[in-house]
């Protein structure tokens, strides 16, 4: 059974940092497309950043460029999202996702496995 278990969300003041973790079980993250999404209340789920099976990174939202970094630890079979210089508009539920393929896309429907979500709240 494939499980992606997220942790690391919480409340932080503007300008602060958080690191989200997504540990996989029953599934190897190596050489897969991995991505982070977020969904704010009343809005659609949006792709933030992905890393394809070869390590190529794509950032889908301009506002997170230079602030959010995706990475993975193959020994721990865990992916991460480092979020720096957080802003109130970053407040949302954050999800990790994995796709049973090398290439990444921004459409949520193309991802096979999802974490349960973790809430990030940034106060001004």
Chain segment 24-36, per-residue pLDDT in tens: 999 999 999 999 9
Each residue of 50-102: pLDDT tens digit?
999 999 999 999 999 999 999 999 999 999 999 999 999 999 999 999 999 99
Tokens read off for 81: 């999202």
CB of 65 closer than 8 Å to CB of 48: no
Residue burial 76-87, b: 16+ Cβ < 10 Å; e: rest: ebbbbbebeebe
CB of 9 closer than 8 Å to CB of 119: yes
CA 84/CA 89 separation, integer angstroms? 13
pLDDT number for residue 55: 94
Contacts of 110 (CB under 8 A, 6+ apart): 99
Average pLDDT in the chain: 97
CA 45/CA 80 separation, integer angstroms? 18
Contacts of 117 (CB under 8 A, 6+ apart): 6, 39, 93, 94, 95
Each residue of 43-52: pLDDT tens digit?
999 999 999 9
Cβ atoms < 10 Å from Cβ of 106: 14
């Amino acid at each position: 059974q494939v499980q992606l278990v997220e942790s690391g969300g919480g409340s932080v003041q503007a300008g602060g940092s958080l690191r989200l973790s997504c540990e996989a079980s029953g599934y190897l993250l190596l050489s897969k497309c991995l991505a982070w999404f977020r969904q704010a209340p009343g809005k659609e789920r949006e792709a933030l950043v992905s890393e394809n099976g070869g390590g190529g990174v794509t950032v889908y939202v301009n506002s997170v460029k230079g602030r959010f970094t995706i990475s993975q630890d193959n020994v721990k079979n865990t992916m991460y999202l480092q979020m720096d210089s957080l802003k109130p508009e970053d407040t949302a539920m954050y999800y990790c996702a994995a796709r049973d393929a090398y290439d990444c896309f921004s459409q949520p429907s193309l991802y096979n496995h999802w974490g349960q979500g973790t809430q990030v709240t940034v106060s001004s």
